[in-house]
């Protein structure tokens, strides 16, 4: 029986665990919180599949073409081909396990428009698609948990991989509250830890996805791809603790973006992009909002916001498909979207870059796999709305299938490595416990500095001077005596160092890509350059430096 360790219990992690359990493997599913708190639950919009229930002659080939075009051809074409091929099967499987997709008047799975796709391809479950899917998969997993095939370790976080040569043998885990460390040996490890929201602070994503795991993996020699590709969702709203997403579904059902120009509403997306309008890919919409607000100075009250208007839609559409939007507007904005436009602005939403994986979700280390937002292969330079949930589920399936193919492991040798690395981790913990808190800088202050630095350098538009300044400051932060920083918790201490390293990888990748493509827009290199840069960045940590190559 294979023994597989899955890090992360969102959709990618749970799907992998479920697939493995169905195939008879013993699964350990590790996460800091219950699956009900995973970022996957927040997804409102829907999941893409070329079902063609609207009789628009949609096809798997068109889904493939839209995805590749949306990603500016940095996507792995073999991986994308597998993704879109499996999409209809995934919808059928989700229905079988209890997902109640919204139906049309003929009883078929209803589909709606999402950005970058002219065909209606996005299936949805009211306004809470992610929650519906997660609930169904959680229930399915519990059957295998009761049977002992899936063992959940909740409250534990990834600390580091067990590595011997170029092979992964398991992981060291850290209990966030008690600082207890344990070593787990496994035939394979699947990383499904989500996007590194913690590097930037306020994003639309879960604060549980803090970026520590990605930074630590980079430090341990795992290769990363396209770290410069960071998606700014065009319609988010500010709240005290994070940015809240106004789902793309609002534009999919007819919501319009406008600003006031010469005393009249100006629907700039419809003028600039006839046919698509506000349903251009997210990178294009966010860049357009930036231009309207910063270059044309037409933002609401001189700010970085524009109006999203759904007040012209039938109330029943808003009631059924946008009820979560109504809730957000009422709670945080005191806006009535039935009668008033919603002030929105771009905000960080998704990380296309991540652990470098191939179509089988394998990494540069044997026995290590990655799936979900922490991996990079499906989305290239920009993700299409509706492909995230699809990529998480498909990725979990494929990573599970691939992990079952690994050969026998030398368990005695792996356990010896585990003992050695556990001892090293405990020694680090002991040094931290004995540290002298002499620094006036605390965790919150350093995190705020990092957030401001990264938002300034890695915004919607970037330029050499800001990127070089960010590189310099990050190197200085990295060279600072980390032990002298003040932290209440050992995990905070670990997270800061990992976040700074991952931020260095993002900035170095952005500096290396001297062109504008997808979510990466350079003011000083404003054109796309297919001759030199129609390929992915590859970031590796060597000799305390980030090395960037193009593949």
Q: For residue range 502-549, list pLDDT tens digits in order.
A: 999 999 999 999 999 999 999 999 999 999 999 999 999 999 899 999
Q: What is the pTM of this model?
A: 0.95
CB atoms within 10 A of CB 44: 25
Between the alpha carbon of residue 335 and those of residues 309, 331, 344, the distances in Å are 11, 9, 12
pLDDT band at 240 (very low <50, low <70, confident <90, very high): confident
Q: How far apart are CA 496 and CA 474, in angstroms?
A: 11
Is residue 436 over pLDDT 60? no
pLDDT value at residue 207: 87
pLDDT band at 424 (very low <50, low <70, confident <90, very high): very high
Least confident range from 56-65, 396-405, 426-435: namely: 426-435
pLDDT band at 433 (very low <50, low <70, confident <90, very high): confident
Q: Mean pLDDT across the chain, nearest whole number?
A: 94
pLDDT tens sequence across 348-379? 999 999 999 999 999 999 999 999 999 999 99
pLDDT band at 310 (very low <50, low <70, confident <90, very high): very high
393, with CB counted inside 10 A (0-12, 13-18, 19+), is buried
pLDDT band at 444 (very low <50, low <70, confident <90, very high): confident
CATH 3.90.700.10 domain locations along the chain:
233-347
pLDDT value at residue 241: 80
Percentage of the residues of the chain whose pLDDT score is greater than 70: 97
Domain covering 414-550 assigned CATH 1.20.58.100 in the classification: yes
pLDDT tens sequence across 71-88? 999 999 999 999 999 999
Q: How far apart are CA 176 and CA 403, in angstroms?
A: 28
Is residue 484 over pLDDT 70? no
The set of catalytic residues is 282
Is residue 482 over pLDDT 60? no
Between the alpha carbon of residue 309 and those of residues 258, 259, 284, 313, the distances in Å are 8, 10, 19, 9
29, with CB counted inside 10 A (0-12, 13-18, 19+), is buried
User: What is the enclosing helix (H) or strand (E) of 419?
Assistant: helix 411-433
CATH 1.20.58.100 domain locations along the chain:
414-550
- CATH (residue range 233-347): 3.90.700.10
What secondary structure does DSSP assign to 279-320, as a single string?
GS-HHHHHHHHHIIIIIS--SGGGSS-EEEE-TTS-HHHHHH
pLDDT value at residue 26: 97
């Amino acid at each position: 029986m294979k023994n597989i360790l899955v890090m992360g219990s969102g959709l990618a992690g749970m799907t992998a665990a479920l697939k493995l359990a169905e195939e008879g493997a013993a699964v350990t599913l590790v996460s800091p919180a219950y699956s009900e708190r995973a970022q996957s639950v927040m997804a409102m919009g829907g999941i893409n599949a070329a079902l063609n229930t609207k009789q628009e002659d949609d096809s798997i080939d068109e889904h493939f073409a839209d995805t590749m075009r949306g990603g500016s051809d940095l996507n792995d074409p073999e991986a994308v081909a597998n993704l879109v091929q499996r999409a209809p099967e995934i919808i059928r499987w989700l229905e079988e396990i209890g997902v109640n997709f919204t139906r049309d008047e003929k009883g078929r799975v209803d589909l709606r428009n999402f950005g970058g796709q002219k065909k209606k391809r996005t299936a949805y479950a009211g306004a809470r698609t992610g929650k519906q899917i997660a609930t169904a998969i959680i229930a399915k997993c519990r059957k295998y948990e009761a049977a002992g095939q899936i063992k959940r370790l909740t409250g534990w976080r990834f600390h580091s991989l067990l590595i011997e040569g170029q092979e992964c043998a398991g992981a060291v885990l850290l209990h966030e509250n008690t600082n207890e460390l344990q070593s787990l040996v496994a035939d394979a490890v699947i990383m499904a830890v989500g996007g590194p929201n913690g590097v930037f602070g306020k994003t639309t994503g879960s604060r549980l996805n803090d970026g520590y795991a990605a930074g630590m993996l980079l430090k341990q020699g795992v290769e990363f791809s396209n770290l410069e590709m960071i998606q700014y969702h065009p319609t988010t709203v500010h709240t005290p603790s994070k940015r809240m997403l106004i789902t793309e579904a609002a534009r999919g059902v007819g919501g319009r973006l406008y600003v006031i120009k010469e005393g009249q509403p100006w629907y700039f997306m419809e003028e600039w992009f006839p046919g698509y309008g506000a349903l251009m890919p997210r990178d294009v919409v966010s860049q357009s909002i930036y231009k309207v607000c910063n270059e044309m100075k037409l933002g609401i009250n001189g700010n970085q916001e524009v109006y999203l208007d759904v007040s012209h839609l039938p109330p029943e559409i808003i009631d059924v498909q946008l009820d979560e939007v109504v809730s957000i507007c009422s709670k945080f904005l005191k806006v009535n979207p039935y009668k008033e436009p919603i002030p929105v602005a771009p905000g960080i939403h998704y990380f296309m870059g991540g652990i470098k994986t191939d179509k089988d979700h394998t990494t540069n280390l044997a026995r290590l796999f990655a799936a979900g937002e922490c991996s990079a292969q499906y989305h290239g330079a920009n993700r299409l709305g509706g492909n995230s949930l699809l990529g998480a589920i498909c990725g979990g399936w494929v990573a599970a299938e691939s992990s079952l193919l690994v050969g026998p492991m030398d368990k005695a040798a792996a356990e010896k490595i585990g003992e050695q690395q556990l001892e090293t981790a405990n020694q680090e913990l002991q040094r931290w416990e004995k540290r002298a808190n002499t620094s006036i800088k605390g965790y919150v202050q350093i995190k705020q500095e990092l957030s401001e630095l990264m938002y300034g350098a890695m915004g919607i538009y970037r330029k050499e001077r800001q990127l070089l300044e960010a590189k310099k400051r990050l190197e200085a932060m990295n060279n600072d005596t980390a032990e002298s920083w003040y932290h209440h918790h050992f995990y905070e201490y670990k997270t800061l160092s990992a976040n700074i390293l991952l931020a260095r990888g993002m900035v170095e990748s952005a500096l290396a890509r001297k062109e504008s493509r997808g979510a990466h827009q350079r003011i000083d290199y404003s054109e796309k350059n297919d001759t030199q840069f129609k390929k992915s960045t590859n970031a590796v940590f060597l000799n305390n430096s980030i090395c960037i190559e193009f593949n």
